[in-house]
């Protein structure tokens, strides 16, 4: 039976409906967090003249945890794209990590749903892995409209004063800026002079459809991959496949968690602490100069993403008024950490 003719309730036994309803609610909450976090930072990076640095601080802090959940490969790709500093690169970098965050929840909740199916497989009308895959497919397919709204929100701020209900809900008057189809987001050549020029209605609709379908297709490919791995695992354990013996592939931690899944060594922070250990009264601009000397030899010492913006040089980030406060906060945290370490164990700083 094609999935278009199904709905989640029709394939879910009554005794499992509350559990699956909770899975769906959990996914919606996590997806909203991914959307809001990446949307706010992307919008700020695209509209630096109107961005409120102080209002962004909670999102920047949360984004640090978000990055640790996504893992080093995704973060490296994000940083590499963002360093190009074009509007198209900023858009693509954040759109990709929005999708990567949702994919993390797809993996995690697919695993939980498979476990539900295995525990109650006698009540299902299909194998547990297939059942879990379809349950997640319903959620993934709903991302089309959410991806479209994300695109609109990062590019422009909607005027909510309109009294037209249809315009308020669907924002049909919105027109796509050309940069969303320019390289690296799209295939057309990047032209800074026309990046913010607007497309006509038909091209806008085609761009929204294309980008949102690509978003959903990538999630679908990831779902198919982990479902395939689950089928293999279940085949390997045979009829003995139970909650204990079947380990469904789920990478990383949940987006709903604000805790880092484990300690991550940030060589930049360690070096800043080292500089402060040798000379505790170093000023922020002096630290930035020293860090630039190191980053010239090792790009891992380049500044992190601060206030939604990427800089190759610490001194550039310090001079940029939209990121200076973030630089101060980044260094100040290491000053405080250093003082804490000295109190607990002075020998550990040497």
Question: For residues 180 and 198, is the Cβ–Cβ distance under 8 A?
Answer: no
Say how far apart CA 54 and CA 67 lie, in whole Å.
21
Cβ(160)–Cβ(168) below 8 Å: yes
Tokens 């796509």 sit on residue: 176
Structural tokens at position 308: 């939604």
Q: Does 258 reside within a domain?
A: no
> Structurally, how many domains does the chain consist of?
2
Of residues 118, 95, 144, the one with CA closest to residue 19? 118
68 in the same domain as 144: yes
Q: Which of 240, 259, 283 is the last residue of a domain?
A: 240
Domain of residue 150 covers: 3-240
Q: Check residue 255 and give its pLDDT.
A: 62
Q: pLDDT value at position 262?
A: 39
**Residue 320, CA distances (Å) to 119, 251, 289, 296, 307 in order:** 56, 37, 15, 20, 10
Distance of CA 227 to the CA centre of its chain: 22
Go through the chain and tell me how many residues it has. Answer: 350
Cβ atoms 109, 23 nearer than 8 A: yes
pLDDT of 52: 78
Q: Is residue 262 part of a domain?
A: no
Whether the CB-CB separation of 69 and 219 falls below 8 Å is answered with no
Kindly state whether residues 218 and 281 are assigned to the same domain.
Answer: no
Instruction: Give yes or no: residues 190 and 229 share one domain.
Output: yes
| Tokens (6 digits) for 125 | 């009308």
pLDDT of residue 295: 78
| DSSP for 204-217, written as a single string | HHHHHHHHHHHHHH
Q: Is residue 85 located within the same domain as residue 12?
A: yes
The answer as to whether 249 is a domain residue is: no
Q: Is 55 part of any domain?
A: yes
Each residue's pLDDT, cut to its tens digit, for the chain (350 residues) gives: 556 657 899 999 999 999 999 999 999 999 999 999 999 999 999 998 887 778 888 999 999 999 999 999 999 999 999 999 999 999 999 999 999 999 999 999 999 999 999 999 999 999 999 999 999 999 999 999 999 999 999 999 887 666 556 677 778 899 999 999 999 999 999 999 999 999 999 999 999 999 999 999 999 999 999 999 999 988 888 755 555 555 555 555 556 554 433 344 567 888 898 888 888 888 999 999 999 888 777 767 788 877 667 777 899 889 988 888 989 988 998 888 777 655 444 444 33
The predicted pLDDT at position 186 comes to 93
Asked whether residue 297 falls in the same domain as residue 235, the answer is no
Please state, in angstroms and rounded to a whole number, the distance separating the CA atoms of residues 333 and 21: 41
User: Looking at the structure, do residues 67 and 26 belong to the same domain, yes or no?
Assistant: yes
Q: Which has the closest alpha carbon to 129: 237, 270, 22?
A: 237
| Backbone CA torsion sign across 37, 98, 169, 256 | negative
In a domain, 293, yes or no: yes
Is the same domain home to 95 and 182?
yes
Residues 138 and 39 in one domain: yes
Domain boundary among 199, 222, 240: 240
Encoding tokens for residue 22? 């909770």
Q: Are residues 195 and 272 in the same domain?
A: no
28 within domain boundaries = yes
**Are 199 and 51 part of one and the same domain?**
yes
d(CA 291, CA 303): 8
Is residue 9 one of the residues assigned to a domain? yes
- Domain presence at residue 66: yes
Contacts of 265 (CB under 8 A, 6+ apart): none
**294 and 201 share one domain:** no
Tell me, yes or no, whether 92 and 233 share the same domain: yes
């Amino acid at each position: 039976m094609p999935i278009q003719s199904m709905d989640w309730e029709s394939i879910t036994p009554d005794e499992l409906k509350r559990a699956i309803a909770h899975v769906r609610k959990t996914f919606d909450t996590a997806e909203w967090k991914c959307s809001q976090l990446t949307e706010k930072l992307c919008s700020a990076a695209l509209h630096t003249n109107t961005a409120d640095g102080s209002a962004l601080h909670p999102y920047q802090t949360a984004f640090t945890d978000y990055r640790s959940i996504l893992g080093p490969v995704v973060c490296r790709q994000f940083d590499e794209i963002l360093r190009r500093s074009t509007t198209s690169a900023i858009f693509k970098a954040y759109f990709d990590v929005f999708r990567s965050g949702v994919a993390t929840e797809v993996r995690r909740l697919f695993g939980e749903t498979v476990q539900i199916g295995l525990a109650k497989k006698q009540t299902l009308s299909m194998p547990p892995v297939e059942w879990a895959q379809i349950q997640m497919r319903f959620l993934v397919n709903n991302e089309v409209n959410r991806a479209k709204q994300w695109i609109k929100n990062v590019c422009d701020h909607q005027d909510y004063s309109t009294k037209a209900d249809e315009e308020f809900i669907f924002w049909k008057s919105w027109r796509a800026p050309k940069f969303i189809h320019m390289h690296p987001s799209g295939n057309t050549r990047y032209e800074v002079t026309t990046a913010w020029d607007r497309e006509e209605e038909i091209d806008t609709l085609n761009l929204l459809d294309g980008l949102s379908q690509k978003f959903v297709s990538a999630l679908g490919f990831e779902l198919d991959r982990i479902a395939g791995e689950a089928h293999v695992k279940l085949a390997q354990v045979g009829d003995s496949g139970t909650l204990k013996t079947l380990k469904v592939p789920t990478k990383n931690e949940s987006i709903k968690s604000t805790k880092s899944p484990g300690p991550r060594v940030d060589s930049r922070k360690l070096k800043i602490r080292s500089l402060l250990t040798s000379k505790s009264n170093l000023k922020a601009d002096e630290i930035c100069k020293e860090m630039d000397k190191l980053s010239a030899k090792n790009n891992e010492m380049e500044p992190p993403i601060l206030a939604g913006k990427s800089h190759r040089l610490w001194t550039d980030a310090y001079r940029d008024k939209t990121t200076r406060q973030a630089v101060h906060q980044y260094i100040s945290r290491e000053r405080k950490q250093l003082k804490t370490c000295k109190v607990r164990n002075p020998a550990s700083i040497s």
